[in-house]
Amino acid sequence: MALKYFQLLFSVTIFFLVSSNIGLATRHAPDYKNLHSPFEFIKHLEGCHKGNKSKEIQLLKNYLQRFGYLDLDQAHADDDIFDDALEAAVKTYQSNFHINPTGILDVSTVSKMVVSRCGVPDIFKGMNSMRADREKHDSGSAVHVVSHYSFFPNSPRWPPTKTHLTYNILPDTPSNAVGPVRRAFNKWASATHFTFSQVQGNQGADLVIGFFRLDHGDGHEFDGPGGTLAHAFAPTTGRFDYDADEPWVDGMVTGAFDLETVAIHEIGHLLGLGHSSIEGAIMYPSIPDGVTKNLHEDDIRGIRALYNV
């Protein structure tokens, strides 16, 4: 009981320190998640900085390229040296995730990077829509509100008259996923101007949800257990794929990922939202195992801004 209380107090304290941007040297042992995930190699890079050289640095470059932070087409970028380009990419990552942008792979940076996440990049062709320092002050609001939602480049969205979208859950979907996906659509429906209905088979659904493994033909392969959990495409493609290799579950279970939480996130992409730098937002890029989340006011403000409603 006393321990629980202390943990709560500790969490609350850390929350306030982090949210008020007070620099604080982390003294507790790092709590690394997903020890057997494809992101595990990042742990071995703790303390690395410009000038370091190792095989894992090349893997880190691939990781940062995959999520939009690094352009490996630049000459000599794809090698094992911690160069200027990598340092710049690490700084951008740090500012997106509200970490002091030192360019050094410190404990806080590694702790964020190893968490399982969505496969959709945070940055598209150098356009960092997630940028934490670009604050959006919503006008018309009585209170001062800072938002961190984002859109895909050129803000693709469903036509204004198309507020009802149909979805098809592919036939080989595990049966325990159907309920969570439906609930996820219901959550978006109750918070926005959209309505959704499920259709079967070849009825030309606007949105299609399925489970896929590794390379599944859309140019964005999955990576086995851990690492990326799912991805979805901007309007009006309408595809949302779960990584079938994850330990999926309906609810809050340590070592497993909540189907509904991930569905709410990916539906956000289907509607046109990019990633948010607010950790409480459903559109935050990463989600640890054993955690459930719901729509956040930042997500809802994002949809209202995108559709002007």
Q: Which is nearer to ligand NAG, 64 or 281 (CB)?
A: 64
Q: Which is nearer to ligand NAG, 56 or 245 (CB)?
A: 56
CA distance 213 to 225: 10
Backbone angles phi, psi at 272, to 5 degrees: 120, 5
244 lies in the site for Zn ion, by CB under 5 A = no
Question: Which of these segments, 45-53, 86-94, 186-194, 221-229, binds ligand NAG (CB under 6 A)?
Answer: 45-53
Q: How far is the CB of 298 from ligand NAG (least distance, A)?
A: 37
102 lies in the site for ligand NAG, by CB under 6 A = no
Asked whether 268 and 296 are in contact (CB, 8 A), the reply is no
Q: Quick one: which of 78, 79, 135, 218 contacts Zn ion (CB under 5 A)?
A: 218
DSSP 40: G
* Dihedral over Cα of 233, 251, 284, 143: its sign: positive
52 lies in the site for ligand NAG, by CB under 6 A = yes
Please confirm, yes or no, whether 46 is among the known catalytic residues: no
Q: Which is nearer to ligand NAG, 54 or 163 (CB)?
A: 54
* Residue keyed to tokens 């990049």: 121
Backbone angles phi, psi at 165, to 5 degrees: -120, 135
Give the three-state DSSP class for 124. strand
Q: If contact means CB under 5 to 8 A according to the sort of partner, which of ligand NAG, Zn ion, none does residue 171 touch?
A: none
Q: If contact means CB under 5 to 8 A according to the sort of partner, which of ligand NAG, Zn ion, none does residue 54 touch?
A: ligand NAG
CA distance 151 to 308: 13
Query: Hey, what are 60's tokens?
Result: 């880190």
51 lies in the site for ligand NAG, by CB under 6 A = yes
Q: If contact means CB under 5 to 8 A according to the sort of partner, which of ligand NAG, Zn ion, none does residue 241 touch?
A: Zn ion
Asked whether 275 and 283 are in contact (CB, 8 A), the reply is yes
Virtual torsion, Cα 45, 63, 216, 120, nearest 10 deg:
130
259 lies in the site for Zn ion, by CB under 5 A = no
In the chain, alpha helices (H): 2-19, 55-66, 84-96, 107-113, 175-191, 259-271, 297-307
171 lies in the site for ligand NAG, by CB under 6 A = no
Q: Which of 40, 135, 266, 297 is catalytic?
A: 266
54 lies in the site for ligand NAG, by CB under 6 A = yes
Q: Which is nearer to ligand NAG, 54 or 292 (CB)?
A: 54
Query: Hey, what are 50's tokens?
Result: 């410009």
| Closest residue to Zn ion in the complex (CB) | 118
For the chain, give the number of residues: 309
Q: If contact means CB under 5 to 8 A according to the sort of partner, which of ligand NAG, Zn ion, none does residue 118 touch?
A: Zn ion
Active site residues per annotation = 266
- What is the binding site for Zn ion (CB under 5 A)? 118, 120, 218, 241
Q: Applying CB under 6 A, which residues contact ligand NAG? A: 47-48, 51-52, 54
